[in-house]
Structure 1
Amino acid sequence: MAHVEEIHDPVRAPAAPDARRFPLWGLLALAMAAFITLLTETLPAGVLPAMARDLDASVSAAGQTVTLYAIASVLTAVPLVKMTAEWPRRRLLLTAVCGFIVANTITALSTSFALTLVSRFLAGTASALIWALLAGYARRMVEPHQRGRALAIASAGTPVALAIGVPAGAFFAQTLGWRVSFAGISILTVLLALWILLSVPQFPGQKRGERQPLSGALRMPGVLPVLGAVAAYVLAHSVLYNYIAPFLGSVGLGERVDAVLLAFGGASILGLWLVGTLIDRHLRTLVIASSCLFALAAVVLGLFAQFPVFVFIGAALWGFAFGGVATLLQTAAAEAAGSAVDMVQSLFVTAWNLAIAAGGVIGGILLAGAGPEVLPGATLVIAVPAILTSVLACRNAFPGRTDRQRREAAS
């Protein structure tokens, strides 16, 4: 999933961040948390056949390990944000990190498909907290004029996970077994917990009476269109990404899953870099361009998958489009939310992960009923609403530069 922002502007640390010392190591710790969160979420997509075989399940059933992870985030994001609003932020971050240690260790050791599903639900719960904390945490660690840079650094863990982590996990799964990959994530997470203790500052939680109601958040102009775009884009992505291994197997690239994922992830880093460079001036243009490029990638994979070179080109286009989409949609949500930003960010987590879960279910049904060859076409069809929303919702959800300047002046 994506990196979702929890902003508590009224609640500040006792002292302002030191303008003379940029907290690079603390921000990199947050980036590592994003790396581990996304790696935990997406690794099963690259090892589905091996997981299914070892756990005595079908490939489509094993794909529900991704679905259940997302369902857990859907069910727990909003209530967890409400229940833990007053917790000190570092304690809450460490609690979520420890949740990953436990969940991934169980996944690595489990020989029961049912127990593996339980561990994936626990991991999804930890994910809900991580995504709700990271971006807001990064913004609070720096001066206001450094927030864009800080958010870019904290967000870097996502494309790095796609570019390096998932392909590496798939490689180790093919050579040493998929359990080794999950055990390795647990070891990295233990080191991350120590890193957070040493380099990430403590901040207070919210004070009583500062929470925004759900109904008020949903009434904010632009919020619903942004959430709709999130749902369409991530659903389209997940239908294919969750089942990338069987799709590649159907076109003769079953042994090149790691290489294709590497192409996807490397391009996603470039996409995030471009978004970070241009987002302040061209949010609307970037959202539209990302949606259209994603659709083009689906066309390439659907029509030319019999040619390996076009599979890699399609994966690279897909990664380039998807690399910055979470940052784009998160920024649009935060700007539309106004004073209801905290609640909107928890809704963002819910919409994102609900779409991942639905993608797992729809993709599994298509895989079992029609075969993996139909997945790119389904992705294209589902991506159309995201394109239409980004084009039509131009005033409040995805405003152009002039409208954004007018909104900032009014606030």
Structure 2
Amino acid sequence: MTKDETRPAGFGALLWLAMATFSMGIDGYVLAGLLPQIAKDLDVSEPAAGQLVAVFALTAALAGPVLSALTGAWERKGIISASLAVFVVGNLVIALSVNYAMAMGGRILSAIGGSLLSAVVSAYVLAKTAPERRGRALSFVLGGFLAATALGVPIGLVIGQEDWRLPLYLVTGVGAVALIGILVNVPRLHLPALSLRETLKPLARPALVGSILVATGIMCASYLCFTYATLIFGPRVGEGPAIIAAMFGYGVVSLFGNIVSGRATDRFDPVHVISLIVGILIVVALLGTAGLLLPGAAGAVAAFAWFFCCAFFNGGSGVALQSRLGDLAPDAMSLVLALNGSGMQLGSALGGMLGGALLASGLPADGLVPASAVVLAATMVLHLIVSRAKPAARTA
């Protein structure tokens, strides 16, 4: 083991990793708000432009676990740098695209790099940080993604009104700076070399698969409402500044929830933190359902209160969920965290699809809030069942 590998991942290293997740956060949200401009420029329909968003999620869900399994024995800093480089190049291809096919190819390339980067960064932080501090370290690095939701995405949407390619240049620039910082400041790390069979062995444990499905359930309940938040807010506050304020506030509150959850996960068993988060989200959904029945300004206040409470606890769920998976499979963290990312992508897609189906069946937008409570209740039952599993011993 080299001297560099024995060096802990201090604040400087974590800061550059957080900048990498910040660039991914901008990329993950900004294009969805620029579909009309993209469709017009590339001469395709808006639904076709929307496939640039969908293909990223699908590619990431499929590529993340496969690439994590295949690269499990490789040095971690090298994997982080290479995957970030692929992600940056993919976004540059999209920004320079002259037609729809080129943009789609760049989107697939960026998803391949981003899916592996997300899993490896989380696994690196868990492996390189002392157990009593890893919750805060993980929340700091993942906070880059949430900070992008609060700050980077609004900036990207503003500059994107002039030219939809400008936010992609922003992502490319931030990612390139983060890559340089990682190459210079992040210590190297080798994890125990495992065969592909040994790497995949944790997937035979129902508790681990169940824990990934808990993340799917939380994200499904979240996106069941978040995807159609405009329909819930619109009748109460109108469209325009109030909606932008709600989305900006959601990102800020999510970031704060992430910070609090990181500290809580350091002090308490992540299983208990997850139980508390899911339980409170159920209560918030039920109270929100009642609050949305209020007329006039009271209903608008209730809508904001419900939305921001969801933001706080949804934003805080990621750290506890990933910390729990790190406990269950410490020797295959890259793979299980990649699978967790796939599970979350699946939950986001299922939430949007379920919400759309319910609205198409005639359910009013406000009815999505109690529907999310049903999904969360089922998720809580699953979590209580799988939480009985004990953490696995880490290979020396």
Q: Tell me if structure 2 keeps the 8 A contact 1:46–1:245.
A: no
- TM alignment of 1:211-360, pairs within 5 A: 212-214=198-200, 216-242=201-227, 252-254=238-240, 256-279=242-265, 280-281=267-268, 282-292=272-282, 295=285, 299=289, 309-337=301-329, 341-359=333-351
1:66-92 Cα offsets, whole Å, 9 max, x none, are 221110111111221122223322221
1:42-99 Cα offsets, whole Å, 9 max, x none, are 2123333443444444544433332211101111112211222233222211221122
Q: Secondary structure at the match of 1:212?
A: helix
Q: Secondary structure at the match of 1:324?
A: helix
| Amino acid aligned to 1:27 | L
Relative to the length of structure 2, the TM-score reads 0.82
Unaligned runs of 5+ in 1: 1-11
- TM alignment of 1:9-28, pairs within 5 A: 17-18=6-7, 23-28=10-15
| Amino acid aligned to 1:275 | S
Task: Please give the alpha-carbon distance, in whole angstroms, between the structure 2 residues aligned to 1:132 and 1:34.
Answer: 11
Task: Please give the alpha-carbon distance, in whole angstroms, between the structure 1 residues aligned to 2:332 and 2:183.
Answer: 30
2:100 to 103, 113, 119: 113
1:232-251 Cα offsets, whole Å, 9 max, x none, are 22233334545667876787
Deviation at 1:353, TM superposition (A): 2.0
| Amino acid aligned to 1:78 | P
Pick closer, same or farther for the CA change 1:335–1:91 going to 2, 3 Å: closer
Task: Please give the alpha-carbon distance, in whole angstroms, between the structure 2 residues aligned to 1:306 and 1:93.
Answer: 50
- TM alignment of 1:62-141, pairs within 5 A: 62-110=49-97, 112-141=99-128
2:181 maps to what in 1? 195
Q: Tell me if structure 2 keeps the 8 A contact 1:69–1:124.
A: yes
Q: Tell me if structure 1 keeps the 8 A contact 2:160–2:167.
A: yes
Tell me the percent identity: 27
Q: Secondary structure at the match of 2:238?
A: coil
Is residue 32 of structure 2 the alignment partner of residue 45 of structure 1? yes
2:145 maps to what in 1? 158
Deviation at 1:357, TM superposition (A): 3.9
Task: Please give the alpha-carbon distance, in whole angstroms, between the structure 1 residues aligned to 2:30 and 2:295.
Answer: 23
2:166 to 180, 189, 212: 180
Is residue 369 of structure 2 the alignment partner of residue 384 of structure 1? no
Pick closer, same or farther for the CA change 1:45–1:349 going to 2, 3 Å: same
Task: Please give the alpha-carbon distance, in whole angstroms, between the structure 2 residues aligned to 1:85 and 1:390.
Answer: 32
Task: Please give the alpha-carbon distance, in whole angstroms, between the structure 1 residues aligned to 2:283 and 2:103.
Answer: 36
Deviation at 1:181, TM superposition (A): 1.4
| Amino acid aligned to 1:195 | G
Pick closer, same or farther for the CA change 1:75–1:183 going to 2, 3 Å: same
- Considering only aligned residues, what root-mean-square deviation do their CA atoms show, in Å? 3.6
| Amino acid aligned to 2:12 | W
Deviation at 1:328, TM superposition (A): 2.1
Q: Tell me if structure 1 keeps the 8 A contact 2:289–2:369.
A: no
Answer with 240-249 or 132-141: which moved more.
240-249
Pick closer, same or farther for the CA change 1:354–1:321 going to 2, 3 Å: same
1:310-365 Cα offsets, whole Å, 9 max, x none, are 55434322311211111122223233346554442232122122333445555677
Q: Tell me if structure 1 keeps the 8 A contact 2:220–2:348.
A: yes
Pick closer, same or farther for the CA change 1:223–1:302 going to 2, 3 Å: farther
Q: Secondary structure at the match of 1:203?
A: coil
Answer with 320-329 or 241-250: which moved more.
241-250
Unaligned runs of 5+ in 2: none
Task: Please give the alpha-carbon distance, in whole angstroms, between the structure 2 residues aligned to 1:376 and 1:61.
Answer: 29
Task: Please give the alpha-carbon distance, in whole angstroms, between the structure 1 residues aligned to 2:230 and 2:157.
Answer: 10
Task: Please give the alpha-carbon distance, in whole angstroms, between the structure 1 residues aligned to 2:294 and 2:245.
Answer: 18
Task: Please give the alpha-carbon distance, in whole angstroms, between the structure 2 residues aligned to 1:87 and 1:64.
Answer: 33
Relative to the length of structure 1, the TM-score reads 0.79
Task: Please give the alpha-carbon distance, in whole angstroms, between the structure 2 residues aligned to 1:302 and 1:212.
Answer: 51
Count residues in correspondence: 388
Pick closer, same or farther for the CA change 1:145–1:26 going to 2, 3 Å: same
1:29 to 16, 35, 46: 16
Q: Tell me if structure 1 keeps the 8 A contact 2:17–2:178.
A: no
Q: Secondary structure at the match of 1:86?
A: coil
Task: Please give the alpha-carbon distance, in whole angstroms, between the structure 2 residues aligned to 1:388 and 1:49.
Answer: 37
| Amino acid aligned to 1:321 | F
Q: Secondary structure at the match of 2:319?
A: helix
Pick closer, same or farther for the CA change 1:114–1:89 going to 2, 3 Å: same
